[in-house]
Amino acid sequence: MTDQPSAGSGEPIGPVTMLATPIRLDFDFTPGVAQSRFLRGLERGTFLGQRCPTCHKVYVPSRGTCPTDGVATTEDVELAGTGTVTTYCVVNVPFAGQSIEIPYIAAQVLLDGANLSFMGLIQEIPADEVRMGMRVEAVWVAPDELTPSLASVRYFRPNGEPDADYDTYKEYL
Amino acid sequence: MSPAAAGRTVRPVSIASFAQAQNVRRDDVHNEVEGLLPVIEEVFSTIGITKDDVDFICSGSTDYLIGGPFSFVMALDAVGVWPPRAESHVEMDGAWALYEAWVLLQEGKADAALVYSFGRSSLGDLGEILTLQLDPYYLAPLGPDIVSLSALQARALIDAGKASEADFAAIASRSRRDALGNPKAQVRQDVAVEVLLADDYVVSPLRRHALPPITDGAAAIVLAAGDKATRWSERPVWITGIDHRSETHSLGARDLTTSPSTASAAAMAGLGAGPVDLAEIHAPFAHQEIILKEALGLDDAVAVNPSGGALAANPLMSAGLIRIGEAANRIASGGADRAVAHATSGPCLQQNLVCVLEGA
Ligand SMILES: [Zn+2]
Residue A99 and residue A118: Cα distance in Å, rounded?
20
pLDDT (tens digit, 9 = 90+) per residue, B122-166? 999 999 999 999 998 889 989 999 999 999 999 999 999 999 999
Reply yes or no on whether the pLDDT at A20 is more than 60: yes
Mean pLDDT in residue range B347-357: 98
Question: Quick check: is A15 in a domain?
Answer: no
Question: Quick check: is A121 in a domain?
Answer: yes
Reply yes or no on whether the pLDDT at B227 is more than 90: yes
Residues with C-beta atoms within 5 A of ion ligand 1 = A 52, 54-55, 66, 68-69
Query: How far, in Å, are B109, B295, B305, B332 from residue B319 at the CA level?
Result: 27, 19, 12, 20
Reply yes or no on whether the pLDDT at A4 is more than 60: no
pLDDT (tens digit, 9 = 90+) per residue, A48-76? 999 999 999 999 999 999 999 999 999 99
Mean pLDDT in residue range A101-106: 89
Judge: A30–B76 Cβ closer than 8 Å, yes or no: no
Reply yes or no on whether the pLDDT at A38 is more than 90: yes
Question: Quick check: is A4 in a domain?
Answer: no
Reply yes or no on whether the pLDDT at A172 is more than 60: yes
pLDDT of residue B8: 60
Q: In terms of CA atoms, which chain B residue is nearest residue A74?
A: B34
pLDDT band of residue B6 (cuts 50, 70, 90) is: very low
Judge: A27–B120 Cβ closer than 8 Å, yes or no: no
Judge: B33–A28 Cβ closer than 8 Å, yes or no: no
Residue A115 and residue B272: Cα distance in Å, rounded?
56
Reply yes or no on whether the pLDDT at B190 is more than 60: yes
Judge: A30–B67 Cβ closer than 8 Å, yes or no: no
B→A interface, C-beta within 8 Å: 27-34, 37, 40, 51, 64, 66-68, 74, 76-82, 120, 122-125, 128-129, 132, 136-137, 140-141
**Residues in chain A closer than 8 A to B80 (CB atoms):** 65-71
Question: Quick check: is A18 in a domain?
Answer: no
pLDDT of residue A6: 53
Question: Quick check: is A71 in a domain?
Answer: yes
Number of inter-chain CB pairs under 8 A, A vs B: 86
pLDDT of residue A7: 53
User: What is the tally of structural domains in chain A?
Assistant: 1
Question: Quick check: is A27 in a domain?
Answer: no
Share of chain A above pLDDT 70, in %: 94
Mean pLDDT in residue range B335-360: 97
List the domain range (segments joined by +) for residue A102: 33-172
pLDDT of residue B272: 96
**Based on the number of CB atoms within 10 Å of its own CB, is B255 exposed (0-12), middle (13-18) or buried (19 or more)?**
exposed
Reply yes or no on whether the pLDDT at A2 is more than 80: no
Pairing of strands B237-246, B13-20: antiparallel
Q: Closest Cα to residue B292, out of B266, B274, B330, B268?
A: B266
Mean pLDDT of chain B: 95
DSSP B11: S
Best interface-test mutation with B: which of A17, A36, A55, A65 has the largest number of B CBs within 10 A? A65
Reply yes or no on whether the pLDDT at A12 is more than 60: yes
Residue B6 and residue B8: Cα distance in Å, rounded?
6
pLDDT of residue A97: 79
Pairing of strands A118-122, B112-120: unpaired
pLDDT (tens digit, 9 = 90+) per residue, B40-82? 999 999 999 999 999 999 999 999 999 989 999 999 999 999 9
- Quote ipTM for the complex: 0.86
- d(CA A87, ligand 1 centre) in Å: 24
Judge: A23–B37 Cβ closer than 8 Å, yes or no: no
Q: Does domain B3-125+214-232 have CATH number 3.40.50.300?
A: no
- d(CA A66, ligand 1 centre) in Å: 5
At a CB cut-off of 8 Å and minimum separation 6, what does B354 contact? B241, B242, B243, B244, B262, B265, B266, B268, B269, B271, B296, B340, B341, B342
Question: Quick check: is A21 in a domain?
Answer: no
Q: In terms of CA atoms, which chain A residue is nearest residue B84?
A: A68
Higher pLDDT: B2 or A163? It is A163
pLDDT (tens digit, 9 = 90+) per residue, A120-152? 999 999 999 999 999 999 999 999 999 999 999
At a CB cut-off of 8 Å and minimum separation 6, what does B182 contact? B188, B307, B308, B312
Question: Quick check: is A23 in a domain?
Answer: no
pLDDT (tens digit, 9 = 90+) per residue, B22-37? 999 999 999 999 999 9
Higher pLDDT: B289 or A21? It is B289
The string of DSSP codes covering A87-116 is EEEEE----TT--SPSSEEEEEEEETT-SS
Distance from the A57 Cα atom to the nearest Cα atom in chain B, whole angstroms = 14
Find the CB nearest A67 among B30, B80, B129. Answer: B80
The residues spanned by each domain of chain B are: 3-125+214-232, 127-212+239-359
Estimate the share of chain A in helix, then strand, then coil, as percent rounded to the nearest 5. Answer: 15, 30, 55
Reply yes or no on whether the pLDDT at A78 is more than 80: yes
pLDDT of residue B1: 32
- d(CA A88, ligand 1 centre) in Å: 26
Question: Can you give the pTM of this predicted structure?
Answer: 0.93
Give residue A123's Cα distance to chain centre.
16
**In one letter, which amino acid is B140?**
A
Q: Closest Cα to residue A1, out of A26, A24, A21?
A: A21
Q: Options 1.10.3210.10, 3.40.47.10, 3.90.1150.10, 3.90.550.10; which CATH number does B127-212+239-359 get?
A: 3.40.47.10
Distance from the B253 Cα atom to the nearest Cα atom in chain A, whole angstroms = 23
Mean pLDDT in residue range B335-354: 97
Residue A126 and residue A123: Cα distance in Å, rounded?
8
CA atoms within 13 A on the CB side of A4: 13
pLDDT band of residue B4 (cuts 50, 70, 90) is: very low
